[in-house]
Amino acid sequence: MIRQSLILLSLFWFSLGIAGAGQWNQINGEHFLVFYSSDERFAQEVADKAELYYRQIASDIGYARYSDFWTWDKRVKIYIYPNHDSFLQATNQPSWSQGMADYKNKLIASFVLSRGFLDSILPHEIAHLIFRDFVGFKGEIPLWLDEGVAQWAELPKRKQIKAYASYLYQKSQLLSIEDMMKLDIRKISEQDRLYIRTTRTRDKEPGVLFLSGDALVNTYYLQSVSLVGFLIEKYGSDSFAEFCRQLRDGKRLEEALRFAYPSYIRSLNDLEERWREYLEESG
């Protein structure tokens, strides 16, 4: 279930031709422009939810103080197509796609009554946009951090994710953070292949995991959001914002951690230790 939602939510969209696909009506919000051709009620709900998510996400990751972002001519554009077929035809997405985003050009697209759009896809993609606006594209930003921020924005999933991360910790089935840093999860395409990854047991002993492709992807993304949630909940959004700023300014991950969390996290090993303590307390 987690794998399916992640595939759905993590698309990049580089075709900018949608603006000419039909006659658009427009709803103007403080941070968003919502374009629609039918169902004004759904479009208005999208506009209202988008503003709510913006405030929640910005507060969570310490972005809220940058109040001049995403206003006036910098507002994010959201296109709502009348149905799934028109969405697919205009955007050239695969048949299972429910929504998409262009992070560099600040565009999001979906369709009327898209399954999961309001509660999952919309906050997920807004979080990606806010995070990338915050840290840019030049620094060495680990994939787990980008995806973790986006998933943390999906409020209904937080309780389930925290419980499952605690379960994997109890079973000594978590990937090591060092392994996560080396792994490009986007290249894991063979679902039935057996992958061998390193881990640390609950007793802090070195171990080995044997995972299918699906299990590896699920575990990686689950840990990503768990790590982001840990940093925000344990040390606060101001420290998390400082961590992101240091990455934006060119510091490597361990340098950024030392700067933002000098008394607690000074290395990847410290990050893993503090995170595992958090999971132990959560269990």
pLDDT (tens digit per residue) in 56-99:
999 888 886 655 678 878 899 999 999 999 999 988 888 888 88
* Residue 262 is assigned to a structural domain of this protein: yes
Q: If you ran DSSP here, which 8-state letter would residue 100 be given?
A: E
CB 19 within 8 A of CB 109: no
CA distance 156 to 187: 28
Asked if residue 277 and residue 160 are part of one domain, the reply reads yes
Query: For the chain, which ranges sit under pLDDT 50?
Result: 1-17, 19-21
CA distance 246 to 258: 10
| pLDDT value for 5 | 40
Asked if residue 110 and residue 53 are part of one domain, the reply reads yes
Asked if residue 161 and residue 107 are part of one domain, the reply reads no
| pLDDT value for 95 | 86
- At which residue do the structure tokens 């759905």 appear? 8
| pLDDT value for 152 | 96
| pLDDT value for 63 | 81
* Residue 244 is assigned to a structural domain of this protein: yes
Beta bridge partners of 26: 35
| pLDDT value for 16 | 40
- 160: number of Cβ within 10 Å: 13
CA distance 114 to 43: 12
Asked if residue 150 and residue 79 are part of one domain, the reply reads no
Asked if residue 231 and residue 125 are part of one domain, the reply reads no
Q: Domain residues for 275?
A: 143-282
- The first and second tokens of residue 3, run together, are 């794998």
Q: If you ran DSSP here, which 8-state letter would residue 110 be given?
A: E
Give the domain CATH number at 98. Answer: 3.40.30.160
| Residue at a domain's end among 92, 109, 135 | 135
Asked if residue 131 and residue 49 are part of one domain, the reply reads yes
Asked if residue 275 and residue 172 are part of one domain, the reply reads yes
* Residue 211 is assigned to a structural domain of this protein: yes
